[in-house]
Structure 1
Amino acid sequence: MPRDGGTTREHLLDIAERLVERNGFAATSVDMILSEARSSKGAFFHHFSSKRALAHALVERYVATDLGTLAAGLEAASAETDPAARLLSFLDYFVGRAEALTSESACLYIAVLVEQDLLDEQNAAHVERAIVGWRVAVADLLRGAFAARPTAMVRPVPEDLADQLFVVIEGGFLMCRATGSPEPMRTQLLVYRQLVAALL
């Protein structure tokens, strides 16, 4: 077990996130986390004042990782000078990473939003920050692409279409969990990409 305090905290969060995604927050006790992490209550309460504080740390970290994934997609597409090509390259990044996305997480947002024990004002604000972050960034890409490809076609409001991508990814997690396969994530992202391409 690492002696570094920051590493110990991250290890506890890793274990807690896995157990919460599998069992739910209410059904995941501190003792279960400690048993899996091979750690002590002293170590736990050194880093988290309560189970509620652990929940806040879990959600805050998950949101930061999620927004980091968004930033990586934006960076991957940044070399494209044409706004429409940049948008499609951004979506291709996620289609290509669909299996990795589902292997890295089962989506903590689902656990947060369905469990009253997790959904307090602080956690709701963290989740909203993620939703707004995706909405603003993806809508900017869509707006630029639409401006570069004028048409008489009636297009969705960029913010609404950006929210749809967030919905596709979160729904993809649900489908992957239900089927035990990463394929629904890739398929749904590909369908979204095809629909966006048709709008261009």
Structure 2
Amino acid sequence: MTTAKADTRQTILDTAERLMVQKGYSAVGLTEVLTTAGVPKGSFYHYFSSKDAFGEAMLQKYFTDYLANMDRIIATPGASGAEQLMTYWQQFYDKQKVDDCQGRCLVVKLAAEVADLSEPMRLTLQQGTAGIIDRLERMLAAGVADHSVSLEFEPALAANSLYGAWVGASVLAKVNRSPEHLDSVMAYTRQMLHI
């Protein structure tokens, strides 16, 4: 792919992410994405074979960026496992609290909607969230090893449980337009990890 074509494709994906995190997948048409991105309407299929392929590419880009951020947190020199975890959770909290708790997480915004619409997008969500949970498990294991975290069960189970709790709290924060559920899950996380 040429640089210009790759840049245009990236612009389309970035624009779509901004729109879809606000409105959802079905509410955003391709015309709106292309107009907002400043890309000619007829050129969409030069970059994507279908709307599903486009949605899958958008989610893959989102998870690539998201997981790279988690890897940066894990690689923070001298940070304990507890510090890594709380940096991650604070970022999650801050991202979900914006815009009257409407958030900026594509997983929270799109998971329930697209899981029934597109099998390729569902699989991308499944792989991406598995990557998040895997990194959380590594942070938890590091925290147990350096004694900054104390768990009553295995890191894998704790990672899965905590991520599910945060996604659920984010949905409830959106419904109530209040950070109350985010505050509760933060307190629950600290209590569960004994930090």
Q: CA deviation at 1:73?
A: 1.9
Aligned to 1:89: 83
**Distance in 2 between residues matched to 1:58 and 1:118, nearest whole Å:** 17
Residue 26 of structure 1 aligns to a residue whose secondary structure is coil
* Partner in structure 1 of residue 126 of structure 2: 128
Name the counterpart of 2:34: 34
For residue 49 of structure 2, what is the aligned residue in structure 1?
Answer: 49
Partners of 2:183 and 2:88 lie apart in 1 by 8
Q: TM-score, normalised by structure 2?
A: 0.76
Amino acid at match of 1:167: G
CA contact (8 A) 1:56 1:122 kept: yes
Contact 1:26-1:117 within 8 A present in 2 as well:
no
Deviation at 1:88, TM superposition (A): 0.9
Structure 2: give runs of 5+ residues left out of the alignment. none
Tell whether 2:159 aligns with 1:162: yes
Change (3 A) 1:70 1:55: same
Per the alignment, residue 171 of structure 2 pairs with 174
Pick closer, same or farther for the CA change 1:92–1:145 going to 2, 3 Å: closer
After superposition, the CA RMSD in angstroms is: 3.1
CA contact under 8 A between 2:81 and 2:144: conserved in structure 1? no
1:24 partnered with 2:21: no
Could you tell me the percent identity over the aligned residues? 22
2:9 maps to: 9
Unpaired segments ≥5 residues, structure 1: 81-85
Report the TM-score, using the length of structure 1 for normalisation. 0.74
CA distance in 1, matches of 2:131, 2:61: 15
Contact residue 19 and residue 28 of structure 1 kept, 8 A: yes
Q: Secondary structure at the match of 1:115?
A: helix
1:56 Cα offset (Å): 0.9
Change (3 A) 1:179 1:121: same
Quote the residue 2:113 is aligned against.
115
- Between 137-146 and 25-34, the greater mean CA deviation after superposition: 137-146
1:21 partner SS: helix
CA distance in 2, matches of 1:116, 1:135: 20
Give the total of aligned pairs. 187
Q: Between Structure 1 and Structure 2, whose CA radius of gyration is higher?
A: 1
Does the CA contact (< 8 Å) of 1:169 and 1:185 recur in 2?
A: yes
Distance 2:6 2:95 in 1: 25
- Aligned to 1:155, what secondary structure does the other structure show? coil
Residue 126 of structure 1 and its aligned partner are, at CA, apart by: 1.9
Match of 1:83 in 2: none
Distance in 1 (CA, whole Å) between partners of 2:50 and 2:180 is 38
Amino acid in the other structure paired with 2:11: H
Q: SS at the partner of 1:97?
A: helix
